């Protein structure tokens, strides 16, 4: 009886750790994708600035705030 309870607790802990790791990986991937998208938008904004596109148009196209584009410039 006691051994069964200990085994149940051990399995529960293992499953909890595995689930936590899985969720951590998923969050990390999500965060990485978002960061990559933002980096791509910023690169596009920089390219547009080099082509003399106005900041407001770049902001409309990329969704980046005017202030952030000004910082990039």
Q: What is the pLDDT of residue 48?
A: 97
Q: What is the pLDDT of residue 2?
A: 84
Task: Read off the pLDDT band of 1 (50, 70, 90).
Answer: confident
Question: What's the rounded Cα separation, in Å, for the pair 16 and 37?
Answer: 32
Question: What's the rounded Cα separation, in Å, for the pair 26 and 38?
Answer: 18
| Single pTM value for the model | 0.72
Give the pLDDT confidence of 4-46 residue by residue, as tens digits. 999 999 999 999 999 999 999 999 999 999 999 999 999 999 9
**Residue 35 DSSP symbol:** H
CB within 8 Å of 64: residues ≥ 6 apart: 41, 42, 45, 58
Task: Read off the pLDDT band of 70 (50, 70, 90).
Answer: very high
Burial of 56 from C-beta contacts in 10 A (0-12 / 13-18 / 19+): exposed
> Contact, 46 vs 72, CB < 8 A?
yes
């Amino acid at each position: 009886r006691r051994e069964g309870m200990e085994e149940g607790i051990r399995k529960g802990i293992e499953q909890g750790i595995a689930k936590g790791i899985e969720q951590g990986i998923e969050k990390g991937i999500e965060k990485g994708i978002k960061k990559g998208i933002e980096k791509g938008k910023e690169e596009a904004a920089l390219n547009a600035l080099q082509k003399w596109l106005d900041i407001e148009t770049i902001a409309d196209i990329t969704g980046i705030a005017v202030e952030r584009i000004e910082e990039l410039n």
